[in-house]
Structure 1
Amino acid sequence: MGRKVRKYLLGLVGVSLALAGTAWAAQLSAETKECVECHKEQMPGLVTQWETSSHWNSGVGCYECHRAEPGEPDAMDHNGWTVAIIVSPKDCGRCHSKEAAEQEASHHAEAGNILNSKDALLGQTVAGEPAVAVGCRQCHGSIVQTNPDGTLSQSTWPNTGIGRVNPDGSKGTCSACHTRHRFSKAQARKPDVCGKCHLGPDHPQKEVYEESKHGILFRAFEDELNMDNPKWVAGEDYFDAPTCATCHMSATPNQPVTHDVGARLSWNLRAPVSTRTKDWEKKLANMKDVCTACHGAQFVDGFYKQFDDFVDLYNTKFAIPAKEIRSLLIQEGVITKANFDDQIDWMYWTLWHHAGRRGRHGAAMSGPDYAFWNGIYDVAKIFYTEFLPEAKRACEKAGKPELYQRILSKYIENDPRHEWYVKGFDPKRVEAIRKYYQERYNQKVE
């Protein structure tokens, strides 16, 4: 193709795009056009993002999202227009009613409840309010406060926490996942959007995903996943790797998209002791339906058998005994009812809130290192070398050594899984391991 022909065709494309842009611009409201005229000078990046969005293509602009009624808590005068800075789920629900209703019913919308939890006590008291503002609340959400003129208080804004409590009473923020002002489906489907909050020592889902085969495949074939497709069904629109959205939100041949991220979760893996969720059988069936887009039924059933066994091991061997032992120490006056004022409180917290969550999420998401070394190994290490010795020390200090003997009898000595802790490792088993290493690796084991 000659240079002149290419130049001519590129010119036609440019004209077509310009005409298309003019046509779409004609659909914009007069209010939005006035907003854009100013903001194109003041915030060109923001406007450019919006001009590449589906909102722009649908004629939805600044005023349609940010308009407010006089008297609303966050209504403010902005160059003669009454607008609100925050676009809440209630606002998005004017067009996206199904998605807003699902989000409102989800656990995400309740994430702000951390503000009244032990986590908040730990953050505000031990760390301090500034740390909570830029840490905890940027994921869980703040209660956004307004000034008398409708502007937002700097102590609680900016904030994109998923459980943010908005001035209009709604909970959450769509832009936590669909980042402004593109509101891109493709971006919201990538693991990184979840990784802002779901990572770290107490909820390392992002790291577990990256360790898993799912994460490995995503990195290898990210460019082939068609993540901007409207429906994006695993097994139809893409084949190589699931993301967080695939399993927890996206459509399957048998299920629609859901913005209730708990609709497929059959276990609560966050609590000190894991319990089944409400309607867990249905939720499990929903998740298995996702899995079968790539895996056979026997594979899926085997995975869940191993996962359920792991959760039961964590619960019955460590979590339930630790919880009941701490409660007994409180009941007997050995430690106080307050949180974090006794050494054993910190040990118990780390056991379930950090190590216990890491192990359970590792098992749930096929991350073997997190299931064992970063998970159940640390749970066991805390339980055997810190928690139980501290319980003994506290009982003796309180003049109640017999209480620790009751604890040993009830929770340790009568459970064969703890036999090694009481009697030591079985010498025959130790010798068998020694012989195995010598024969297989020609390695002497001391």
Structure 2
Amino acid sequence: MRRILLLMLLMLLSPAIHGSGKQPPKTVIGTDKECIQCHPKQFKEWQASAHAKKQPVAGCLACHGGLHSETASRSRRDRVCVACHGGKEGAVVHSYASSKHGVLMRLEENGYDWTKPLAMANYRAPGCAYCHLHQRNHDVSAGVRADAMNRERPVPDGMRAVCRDCHAPRYTARLFDNGDALLEIGRKKSREAEALVQAAPELGREDQAAVQQQLQKMHQHLQNVRLGAGHQSPDYQWWHGQPALDGDLLRIRGMIDEYRRKHPVQPR
């Protein structure tokens, strides 16, 4: 009888001993659904993000991996992001790698404590996750995001707040103002090129295709300027950005002028 009472007492005390009575997290996770049960807040944030809405979908395991003890530290390292964002030679990754932050990251990343939160300047050089998943917000569209600098409007304060973790407000404001000015110079070149193309409807099919191809290159070079401003990469602000835009504009103008020389308008 005493043994039965003792067993009953242990059963009653079991939830108190083990916390809420929930099962401890698995060592290995096999599917994203297993993560959602314990992380509903992060899942809701993720649902609003580009990771959830674009194809291929970047789910929990894609970034965190399946080993529960390393899910946080693994997802905070840049190597997780590289494969899905154009590889090491792609403009997105290379523009960061060629920046001061990127160089510091390569030199020091093996000495960082990757278990620390993505906030409070815990890392001397911010990586992809620090800026784009700031303070563990799983909506990569909430803070620093690529399309924020695509629109001709003020940069959201959420982006500025990330930089203010490490930099003084006045310095941060100056950098963003410089970036806006740099982008506006690039946009003017792009608008001029588009106006030239619209004013040349007489171009033949092959010539029109060649001009449109050059215009597409110009859009990519304008994107390089955005990446250069956002990642603070001089190479992408200039060598892969503004001079490339100058060349695109000159080529488009030259192609249209050449066509008009070869096909002069006959007087009526």
> Shorter chain as normaliser: what TM range?
0.7 to 0.9
Aligned mates of 2:262, 2:34 — CA distance in 1: 59
1:273-312 correspondence to structure 2 within 5 Å? 274-276=150-152, 284-312=156-184
Aligned mates of 1:356, 1:259 — CA distance in 2: 28
User: 1:334–1:398: 8 Å Cα contact kept in structure 2?
Assistant: no
Match of 2:237 among 352, 364, 371: 371
By percentage of residues, which structure has more helix? Answer: 2
Aligned mates of 1:388, 1:346 — CA distance in 2: 13
Matched letter for residue 214 of structure 1: H
Residue matched to 2:59: 173
Aligned mates of 2:230, 2:266 — CA distance in 1: 40
Matched letter for residue 289 of structure 1: A
Q: Deviations over 1:60-87 (max 9, x none)?
A: 756xx5xxxxxxxxxxxxxxxxxxxxx4
Q: Which runs of 5+ in 1 are unaligned?
A: 1-22, 29-56, 66-86, 113-140, 142-162, 164-171, 252-256, 403-446
Aligned mates of 1:223, 1:201 — CA distance in 2: 18
Aligned mates of 1:181, 1:333 — CA distance in 2: 61
Residue matched to 2:77: 190
Matched, 1:205 2:85: no
Tell me the percent identity. Answer: 22
Match of 1:59 among 18, 26, 42: 26
Aligned mates of 1:356, 1:376 — CA distance in 2: 8
Matched letter for residue 194 of structure 1: C
Q: Deviations over 1:304-355 (max 9, x none)?
A: 1110101111111x112223333444xx35355x9x98111211111112x2
Q: Which runs of 5+ in 2 are unaligned?
A: 1-17
Q: Deviations over 1:214-249 (max 9, x none)?
A: 1222233324432123x34233xx242211111111
Matched, 1:233 2:119: yes
TM-score (norm: length of structure 2)? 0.76
Q: Which structure would you say has the larger RCO, counting Cα contacts within 8 Å and 6 or more residues apart? A: 2
Deviation of the 1:378 alpha carbon: 1.2
User: 1:314–1:356: 8 Å Cα contact kept in structure 2?
Assistant: yes
Q: Is the alpha carbon distance of 1:265 and 1:392 closer, same or farther for their aligned partners in structure 2, counting shifts above 3 Å?
A: farther
Aligned mates of 2:265, 2:89 — CA distance in 1: 34
Residue matched to 1:436: none
User: 2:203–2:259: 8 Å Cα contact kept in structure 1?
Assistant: yes
Matched, 1:262 2:148: no
The number of equivalent residue pairs is: 246
What RMSD in Å do the two structures reach over aligned CA positions? 3.4
User: 1:105–1:260: 8 Å Cα contact kept in structure 2?
Assistant: yes
Q: Deviations over 1:264-304 (max 9, x none)?
A: 2476278xxx3147xx65xx322222212211111111111
TM-score (norm: length of structure 1)? 0.48
Secondary structure, aligned partner of 1:290: helix
Deviation of the 1:392 alpha carbon: 2.4
Larger Cα Rg: Structure 1 or Structure 2? 1
Matched letter for residue 389 of structure 1: G
Residue matched to 2:130: 246
Aligned mates of 1:373, 1:58 — CA distance in 2: 49
